[in-house]
Structure 1
Amino acid sequence: MKYIYDLHNIMLDRSLILVYEGEFTQEITKSVLAMAERNLDSFGEESSIKRKVFNIMVECLQNICKHAEAANNSQKSNAIFMIGKHDKEYFITSGNPIANDKVEEMKRQLKTINSLDKTGLKSLYKEVIKSGDLSDKGGAGLGFIDMARKSGEKLMFDFVPINDRLTFFSLQTIIPRG
């Protein structure tokens, strides 16, 4: 049972407020958002920061619900969601399996988003909306663009191959507190 203590210490060391790992459904997403909102309220965080954090959390959780792939033969897709707080920032991290054939396009989108300034992000957002070039799952990278716009920071991401069908996609967004 020492692993519980070790996990507790890791969460404290990494300043993690909330960690959820498992299947993501709309109901679980609502619960995770409610818990995170209560934590933000308990910190007495100013409303503009709370709104940014909450909006980015919603985008991350929607991405997981819409795009996570099942890692085995079950229909369930497990993922991870974390939110943490340092003195000057919040960080929201998510990770989930995606199909290997989605990796290159996602890398391209994320690199493009990270290459743009505030004005460029606004233009890209409008361009994507006007083009109507949405995927069958409602994407086209709007959520990523929105996260970058709301945070004002570059999105950090990584792709780790799992097998010949899947890759684990990790995304972290930083929200400055002041």
Structure 2
Amino acid sequence: MKYIYDLHKTMLSRNLILVYEGEFTQEITKSVLAMAERNMDSMGEESSIKRKVFNVMVECLQNIVKHSDDFNPLSAKRNAAIFIIGKEDDRYVVTSGNPVDTEAADALKKRIDEINELDKDGLKAMYKDIIKSNSLSNKGGAGLGFVDMARKSGQKLEYDFEDMGEGFKFFSLTTTILRF
């Protein structure tokens, strides 16, 4: 049972206020968002910051639900993913992770690098271009999520891909929202 205490200490040391690992559905997404919102309310967070954090959380969770591949070599779980939100003095950190196939990983890397190269005006122009083109992917997304996360946070998106074998990678994405 020591691992429970170790996990607790890790969560405290990293200022994690919400961690969820497992299957993500629309219902679970709603519950995670409601818990995070209650946590921010109980901490007396400003409404403008809550809106930014909430927007980023919604985009992260939608990405997991829409784009997570049905693969987890460590268990029989389908769509196993993780979502974490942490609060430090001057920022919130929203992190998500889920398996993707190698081809999707390459496309994600290219897309995020392209977004990270843009300034505020460039992000705004890209957002408008995507809205005007009005094209949906085969998974129902228009490609606005990462752009919107970068716009709302005002920060570069951080990401990583860990090889899982069998043609899959674990995609981790971190978005930081400053509290001022």
User: How high is the TM-score relative to the length of structure 1?
Assistant: 0.96
The equivalent of 2:48 in structure 1 is: 48
Runs of 4+ with deviation above 3 angstroms: 72-75
> Which of residues 94, 97, 116 is equivalent to 1:95?
97
On the 8 A contact 2:15/2:87 being kept in 1, the answer is: yes
CA–CA separation in structure 1 for the residues paired with 2:77 and 2:141: 21
Q: Aligned AA for 1:121?
A: L
Q: Which moved more, 1:66-75 or 1:79-88?
A: 66-75
The equivalent of 1:158 in structure 2 is: 160
RMSD: 1.3
User: How high is the TM-score relative to the length of structure 2?
Assistant: 0.95
On the 8 A contact 1:109/1:141 being kept in 2, the answer is: no
> Which of residues 168, 172, 175 is equivalent to 1:173?
175
Instruction: Give the secondary structure class of the aligned counterpart of 1:162.
Output: strand
Shift of 1:99: 1.4
The equivalent of 2:119 in structure 1 is: 117
Shift of 1:109: 0.6
CA–CA separation in structure 2 for the residues paired with 1:103 and 1:6: 32
Instruction: Give the secondary structure class of the aligned counterpart of 2:65.
Output: helix
Instruction: Give the secondary structure class of the aligned counterpart of 1:124.
Output: helix
Q: Aligned AA for 2:71?
A: A
CA–CA separation in structure 1 for the residues paired with 2:72 and 2:6: 28
Q: Aligned AA for 1:5?
A: Y
Q: Aligned AA for 1:132?
A: N
Q: Aligned AA for 1:92?
A: V
On the 8 A contact 1:18/1:82 being kept in 2, the answer is: yes
Shift of 1:132: 2.8
Shift of 1:133: 3.5
CA–CA separation in structure 2 for the residues paired with 1:153 and 1:132: 25
Structure 1: gaps (5+ residues) = none
On the 8 A contact 1:79/1:96 being kept in 2, the answer is: yes
**Cα deviation digits, residues 74-111 of structure 1 (max 9, x gap):** 67210000000000000000000011111111111100
On the 8 A contact 1:80/1:95 being kept in 2, the answer is: yes
> Which of residues 88, 105, 108 is equivalent to 2:107?
105
The equivalent of 1:33 in structure 2 is: 33
CA–CA separation in structure 1 for the residues paired with 2:72 and 2:59: 25
On the 8 A contact 1:21/1:81 being kept in 2, the answer is: yes
Instruction: Give the secondary structure class of the aligned counterpart of 1:5.
Output: helix
Shift of 1:67: 0.5
CA–CA separation in structure 1 for the residues paired with 2:118 and 2:148: 12
Shift of 1:131: 2.1
The equivalent of 2:67 in structure 1 is: 67
CA–CA separation in structure 1 for the residues paired with 2:168 and 2:12: 31
**How many residues were matched structurally?**
178
The equivalent of 1:77 in structure 2 is: 79
Q: Which moved more, 1:68-77 or 1:162-171?
A: 68-77
Percent of aligned positions with the same letter in both sequences?
65
